[in-house]
Amino acid sequence: MGTPSAPDATFFIIDEHDWADDAATGSVPAELLEEARRRGGGGRKLMAQGEGGFHSTYSVMPPGYAMAAHRHDHDELIVVIAGGAAFGHEAKPIRAGDSVVVPAGVVHRFVCGPEGMELVTVARGPARTELVQEG
Looking at the 3D structure of the chain, how many domains does it have? 1
> Could you tell me if residue 7 is inside a domain?
no
Answer for the pair 80, 122: CB distance below 8 angstroms, yes or no.
no
Structure confidence at residue 3 (pLDDT): 55
Domain CATH for 68: 2.60.120.10
Mean pLDDT computed over every residue of the chain: 87
DSSP secondary structure letter of residue 133: -
The residues of the chain scoring below 70 in pLDDT are 1-7, 127, 135
Domain span including residue 68: 19-131
> Could you tell me if residue 12 is inside a domain?
no
Quick one: what percent of the chain has pLDDT higher than 70?
93
> Could you tell me if residue 96 is inside a domain?
yes
> Could you tell me if residue 13 is inside a domain?
no
Measured between alpha carbons, how far is 61 from 108 in angstroms, rounded to an integer? 16
